[in-house]
Structure 1
Amino acid sequence: MSEPTISQLQPMPGDWQRALAVVAHPDDLEYGCSAAVAAWTDAGREVAYVLATRGEAGIDTLEPAQCGPLREREQRASAAAVGVSAVEFLGHQDGVIEYGTALRRDIAAAIRRHRPELVITLNHRDTWGGVGWNTPDHIAVGRATLDAAADAGNRWIFPELTERGLAPWNGVRWVAVAGSSTPTHAVDARPGLERAVRSLLEHRTYIEALTSEDPETYVREFLTATATTTGERFGGAPAVAFELFAR
């Protein structure tokens, strides 16, 4: 019997100028796709980040009032490492984000503000490839982002946004989901991998609470292994994978 053929990942579309990444927590993008972001900003594309929370419930040894501002600072430094200066926090409560119209409205408003052609989010499904259970925050934000990409262009959904001066934006052409178990596309990670390592390392407080390993060793091994595995379906080049939904 012949071995089953592994489907190859296609290159991400390149005919766009503005992207908006929407995730639940500080570090979500750095674990998922910052090597791709670095490559995009190098090419002169604009990328902005929107985070639903400040990650204030993410470190057991720090009270949320202390943790939130610290993680916000780390996220801004992390974004800067890959060429992103626009970082917004929506102020939802870490750990108990609720999927619903309030979340969709906030994300639709962000899409109208930034007017992206590409929207990026994180795995919105119940599990990570059937192996690990996903968190409610990731599921809620990922699903709401997919929905808000359409909401942003409909003037009759959330008309109060128009009243606030946020005109409908129907220019989102794709939503790309990082961390998907069924990816379809990929970006060469090699140009941005070193900056992706530096970017994730900016979350040092979180990483030091997460593992007893040397932070740089942990970060480099994690990102390199993930990119290398993805690259097996992308011509052998280390890569960042996305599941791409066209609109």
Structure 2
Amino acid sequence: MPEDWSRALAVVAHPDDLEYGCAAAIAAWTDAGREVTYVLATRGEAGIDTLEPEKCGPLREQEQRASAAVVGVDTVEFLGHKDGVIEYGTALRRDIAAAIRRHRPELVITLNHRDTWGGVHWNTPDHVAVGRATLDAASDAGNRWIFPELVEQGLEPWNGVKWVAVAGSVQPTHAVDATPGLERSVRSLLEHRTYIEVLTSEDPETYCRTFLTGNAQAVAERFGGKPAVAFELFSR
């Protein structure tokens, strides 16, 4: 992965998306003094069948903030789109472009934007919409004539995004050594305990450790034998 950057913005659909996808890399980056900010399209309020959205949303937001803190991320923003029915379009692109202009990152991170996970599992519409909108918004943010109302709000164009890194891609091109941040990535995912305890009957820590370690090891063969977090990197 490129190292000549100081600020990153991670844009995903739901609480836990980054923890399942790339928190070990984020821990390594913040350890190195880089600034990483999280932007989530939703609060994940539709993610737990046994918990009404009005109760679920605030709880998952709280868990996400705690989870981010474990890997050194202090700023977590929520865009307020409705969980489960995010629509790709100009409204979503505008919100993400505004976030890019606010935070002025060189690196933008998102999650798999393709229809499937390796042709085996169908991706969710939320992931697809947010991932694709993020790739587009990286360009939108630098063009003053797209969403000119953002300039009126004091958000000047930012054309400084050099790369968009897609976590969870089945076509990875780059990787980050997961070893330094792996333990914290486990603790970070564990902060989503309410969600995890509904998702699996397995011990939560065992579940998190097995999942994240397995993913990192699966990448190792392709990237020099080291456990890693893989990304598909798009240059701009």
TM-score, with structure 2 as normaliser: 1.00
- Cα RMSD between the aligned structures? 0.3
1:166 maps to 2:151: no
Q: Distance in 1 between matches of 2:211 and 2:177?
A: 17
**What residue in structure 2 maps to residue 7 of structure 1?**
none
Q: Distance in 1 between matches of 2:222 and 2:179?
A: 15
% same residue: 86
Question: 2:34 is aligned with what amino acid?
Answer: R
**What residue in structure 1 maps to residue 87 of structure 2?**
98
**What residue in structure 2 maps to residue 59 of structure 1?**
48
Structure 1 unaligned blocks of 5 or more = 1-11
How far 1:79 sits from its partner (Å)? Answer: 0.1
How far 1:121 sits from its partner (Å)? Answer: 0.2
**What residue in structure 2 maps to residue 192 of structure 1?**
181
**What residue in structure 1 maps to residue 16 of structure 2?**
27
**What residue in structure 1 maps to residue 233 of structure 2?**
244
1:42 maps to 2:31: yes
Q: Distance in 2 between matches of 1:183 and 1:131?
A: 17
Q: Which of 148, 171, 194 does residue 205 from structure 1 map onto? A: 194
**What residue in structure 1 maps to residue 143 of structure 2?**
154
Question: 2:223 is aligned with what amino acid?
Answer: F
Kindly report which structure 2 residues correspond to 1:219-230, keeping only aligned pairs within 5 A, or say none.
Answer: 219-230=208-219
Q: Distance in 2 between matches of 1:122 and 1:55?
A: 15
Kindly report which structure 2 residues correspond to 1:123-134, keeping only aligned pairs within 5 A, or say none.
Answer: 123-134=112-123
Q: Partner of 1:77: helix, strand, or coil?
A: helix
How far 1:234 sits from its partner (Å)? Answer: 1.1
Deviations 1:94-143 (A, max 9, x none): 00000000000000000000000000000000000000000000000000
Q: Partner of 2:99: helix, strand, or coil?
A: helix
How far 1:196 sits from its partner (Å)? Answer: 0.2
TM-score, with structure 1 as normaliser: 0.95
Question: 1:66 is aligned with what amino acid?
Answer: K
1:231 maps to 2:232: no
Question: 1:179 is aligned with what amino acid?
Answer: G
Q: Partner of 2:187: helix, strand, or coil?
A: helix
Deviations 1:181-228 (A, max 9, x none): 100000000000000000000000000000000000000000000000
Q: Partner of 1:176: helix, strand, or coil?
A: strand
**What residue in structure 2 maps to residue 4 of structure 1?**
none
Deviations 1:53-78 (A, max 9, x none): 00000000000000000000000000
**What residue in structure 2 maps to residue 9 of structure 1?**
none
**What residue in structure 2 maps to residue 179 of structure 1?**
168
Q: Partner of 1:170: helix, strand, or coil?
A: coil
Q: Distance in 1 between matches of 2:227 and 2:81?
A: 35
Q: Distance in 2 between matches of 1:196 and 1:234?
A: 19
Q: Partner of 2:8: helix, strand, or coil?
A: strand
Structure 2 unaligned blocks of 5 or more = none
Q: Distance in 2 between matches of 1:102 and 1:188?
A: 36
